[in-house]
Amino acid sequence: EAQVTQNPRYLITVTGKKLTVTCSQNMNHEYMSWYRQDPGLGLRQIYYSMNVEVTDKGDVPEGYKVSRKEKRNFPLILESPSPNQTSLYFCASSPGQGAGTGELFFGEGSRLTVL
Amino acid sequence: RKEVEQDPGPFNVPEGATVAFNCTYSNSASQSFFWYRQDCRKEPKLLMSVYSSGNEDGRFTAQLNRASQYISLLIRDSKLSDSATYLCVVNLLKTSYDKVIFGPGTSLSVIP
């Protein structure tokens, strides 16, 4: 089954404790992206990747890191989480070089709470 | 001004009603347009693309007005299962990639 898989789905952590949210897609998509969704603000892009070893900042990259060592995986790293990073996170992938050229396929989301 | 704006609602409509959502975008260089649907606490999923000539998919009709920079979604004969948040999505074609911008969403509740 074609899918985007995120883990963990739910996480409660404390300020400053490094964490990684994994994202994996099995559709051989070139484009992958991370979003956060907050009430009233909609989906905001954190980072995106056009292909292996090619990543770039989205609209709200502060406090996050990503890597794209393999085509299928695009982990999101919070080196020192803070309470303002409490949010619902979505990973997405799309065929082609840009998300606008095709459908975005989303993972089920990871709800993160930072105390 | 936000790049993509939508009326947040909520829209509460009875089953069988027709409901229309509007979305405005600020960048005239926007290239392509989509409507996504998001159920409560679930991931967004593509509902339909929006073409310049307008397009229809069953009970759903999408329209684009480039001159006025707005997109609309019409749902006819509303079903309970249509209850969801509808996200307007606009794509800007940059030099080497596409920038996808999501609206904040419009919430729809279809009531028995």
Cβ partners under 8 Å of residue B52, min gap 6: B64, B66
Q: How far is B87 from chain A (nearest CA, A)?
A: 9
Residue of chain B nearest A42, judged by CA positions: B104
pLDDT in the model for residue B53: 86
CB–CB of A93/A77 below 8 Å? no
Does residue A98 sit at the B interface (CB-CB below 8 Å)?
yes
Q: Which residue numbers of B have CB closer than 8 Å to A's CBs?
A: 4, 8, 31-32, 36, 41-46, 87, 91-93, 96-100, 102-105
For A100, the 3-state DSSP assignment is helix
CA A107 centroid distance within chain: 9
Q: Measured between CA atoms, how close is B17 to chain A, in angstroms?
A: 26
Query: CB-CB: which of B92, B97, B102 is closest to A42?
Result: B102
pLDDT score recorded for residue B3: 87
Mark yes or no for CB contact A109/B8 under 8 Å: no
pLDDT tens digits, residue range A95-108? 866 555 568 899 99
- Please enumerate in sequence order all residues whose Cβ is within 8 A of that of B109, keeping only pairs 6 or more positions apart, or say none: B10, B11, B12, B13, B83
- What pLDDT sits at residue A14? 96
Q: In whole angstroms, how far apart are CA A108 and each of A84, B15, B81?
A: 21, 28, 19
Q: Which residues of A touch B30 (CB under 8 A)?
A: none
> What pLDDT does B27 receive?
84
pLDDT at B96: 58
To the nearest whole Å, the CA of B45 is away from the closest chain A CA by 7
| Residue B88: closest C-alpha in chain A | A42
Whether A100 sits inside 8 A of B87 (CB atoms) is: no
CA of B57: how far to CAs of A36, B10, B72, B110, in Å? Answer: 29, 23, 14, 19
Q: Could you give the C-alpha distances from A87 to A4, A24, A37, A38, in angstroms and in order?
A: 19, 20, 6, 6
With a cut of 50, which residues of chain B have pLDDT below it?
A: none
pLDDT for residue A6: 97
Q: What pLDDT, on a 0 to 100 scale, did the predictor assign at position A39?
A: 87
Question: Distance between CA A36 and CA A24 in Å, rounded?
Answer: 17
End-to-end CA distance of chain A: 36
Mean pLDDT by 10 residues, chain A (115 residues): 94 96 95 92 91 92 97 97 97 75 87 97
**Among candidates A42, A88, A107 on the partner chain, residue whose Cβ is nearest the Cβ of B104:** A42
A99 φ/ψ angles, rounded to the nearest 5 degrees: -65, -25
From the CA of A97, how many Å to the nearest CA of chain B? 6
